[in-house]
Structure 1
């Protein structure tokens, strides 16, 4: 169960009253009356919010907006640009790297380049990755989530920036920042390139749990969309670092009636990197015992 404290949630009732984009085709803007609401606090207990921010029918979210530009004589449109509403999905990439903020190889390239391409087709797109450095273009959302992991509770924060039509979210916790401090070329996974931190199974389990909270608790707004992504989303998990995300989604959320319509696509970028750890560490992952057999791999 996660407990969330936020200081920047905006009531959807006020959003509709003071000019939020609740109807397709209307531009989203924030009035002065709404600005004062950013200092109010909303508290989540367990997995369900006490307020109605995350209720699907309350969210003011403009669905998929597409801008089509003329590409020369072989691609002509009747207008120089066109916005199409209601045609896209809510897509969330979850990965340990995202270019240009963090990268060791092709994984960072994919999470850096593919999301803007999907956003250009009208999907609402987000990437979630760890915050390994003091990124100057990402701002603290002031949202804090308490996550149970093993026999302790960890508090994580979220930083955010919006670029090229994509919400870029960074999970903030000392397990990421204090170990790497910007040395993303060689220290993301271990103190030296080719090695692993001894607690990587804990680091990326925490990351996966934090990523599952993001669509429900972050109120993200731009000129095309407003409000949380909500529960009708598609998670794209990448490589072993997020391989546990579907297990948490099934056991902690869908089992409690949350993310009922959410889907997961698991992408393997390099089969050589498998994230193998001691089988005895399963107890640290806070998963039901029915998943235990799935984590037992014996060579030979």
Structure 2
């Protein structure tokens, strides 16, 4: 089959800039698509944190003209580089006024007031850059609200531009909670015409993600379960009706993970490597982890790990409400994360109250995240919603059995324990309540103490699972081709 020209637009890309899972996808999917033979290009903003020298970025000749509606034409520079260890080109839109800031979207949690103009400018820049490069994409792959203007522009401003004669669009929703809501005057900047206002209108203002959903040729989410969930009131964040109407073009594609980085057999950030045929190194990693968190080095009790943002979405209030009852069990818990200030202070206090049972590191360290995955026996993820989730997939590979709420990608990737001991890769609960969380942790702990053979078999089951990017890339490839055929009326 013919190769595709694919242009991926994202507000963040690993390793250049990251706040969440979007960056992981934007940094990994292009490599896998390139391996399938496609011509893939990436575009992202050039924030101050993107080190031009470190990544060998080169300034392209000539400035890029970017029409901004009533603001007139603005100008940007463009830097070109490569994804590390690949030949995938990545272009950085350079505009000091919009992107010359330390934060990507906010400053100390306060969103930049001109985020609407910033990302409309970026979206228009993507279109203009494609023309400058004379790159004719078969598909432009937009991500989240930041680039939701692209499908709108493709169907309006650029509808009759020969550079995009057969170009289709895919919009991936990584987290529906964030939608890009602004005042209605944004229409004058967006430039698609006020006759399209009704497609974006929400409570008298503009919702950029709403417009993207309406105009995109296809919509995807980062797991099959999440694609179902966002059609419901519980998970739809007010857009469930619109998404349900557009469900004919909705697809769920589970994110992959990079097993060259997240595998205990090759992990250079853990003290001892291991694999399913020889788990002895895991016990040594556990002992080292207990030492790191200054809790007693007890091999006989289950050690539960947590890594993630200390925010409501991740179920942090559930954990806070349950923690005293959890620590009545004969267990240890180690936590790595940062987020809401009350949570940071609360769990620091818990560590002081239970020095033999609870260890806490406020902040983020990649090496420590790897060590928690390797050294823990169980991994707790009680998310209120989880579009995909990666830590539970990492945990599977490290033989660290996940305890998860059955939502989104957590439900898709974890098979519940069966008492026959032959099946299952973790422990799931359904209600977002302290009792459900406590009972499921208790179930996992009971299995540890009373069915060790079943527990070990589950570890082997877990370590045999694979969710790599090759499979995900083939699903995206199939979806891209459907978009192309639809655009051409085939």
Q: Check whether TM > 0.5.
A: yes
The 2-side partners of 1:162 and 1:93 are apart by: 14
1:241 has 2:156 as partner:
no
The 1-side partners of 2:72 and 2:159 are apart by: 23
Q: What is the aligned partner in structure 2 of residue 295 from structure 1?
A: 200
Among 263, 276, 283, the alignment partner of 2:181 is: 276
Among 76, 89, 100, the alignment partner of 1:167 is: 89
Q: Name the SS of the counterpart of 1:132 in structure 2.
A: coil
Is the Cα–Cα contact under 8 Å of residues 66 and 128 in structure 2 kept in the other structure? no
The 2-side partners of 1:242 and 1:206 are apart by: 10
Unaligned runs of 5+ in 1: 1-85, 181-186, 219-227
Name the structure with the higher helix share: 2
Give the total of aligned pairs: 198
Among 26, 34, 38, the alignment partner of 1:111 is: 26
Task: Work out which of the two has the higher radius of gyration on C-alpha atoms and give 1 or 2.
Answer: 2
Matches within 5 A, 1:1-150: 87-133=2-48, 134-136=51-53, 137-149=56-68, 150=70
Among 100, 103, 106, the alignment partner of 1:190 is: 106
Cα offset, 1:143, TM superposition: 3.0
- TM-score in terms of structure 1 length: 0.62
Q: What is the aligned partner in structure 2 of residue 12 from structure 1?
A: none
Cα offset, 1:232, TM superposition: 4.1
Among 183, 202, 213, the alignment partner of 2:117 is: 202
Cα offset, 1:196, TM superposition: 1.4
What are the Cα deviations for residues 228-259 of structure 1, in whole angstroms up to 9, with x where unaligned? 42x24210000000001111122221234441
Q: What is the aligned partner in structure 2 of residue 76 from structure 1?
A: none
Q: What is the aligned partner in structure 1 of residue 171 from structure 2?
A: 266
- TM-score in terms of structure 2 length: 0.39
Name which of structure 1's ranges 111-120 and 247-256 shifts more when overlaid on structure 2: 247-256
Cα offset, 1:294, TM superposition: 1.0
The 2-side partners of 1:158 and 1:276 are apart by: 28
Cα offset, 1:295, TM superposition: 1.5
RMSD, matched Cα: 1.8
Unaligned runs of 5+ in 2: 204-237, 240-490
| Inter-CA distance 116–167: structure 2 relative to 1 (3 Å threshold) | same
Is the Cα–Cα contact under 8 Å of residues 130 and 176 in structure 1 kept in the other structure? no
Q: What is the aligned partner in structure 1 of residue 101 from structure 2?
A: 179
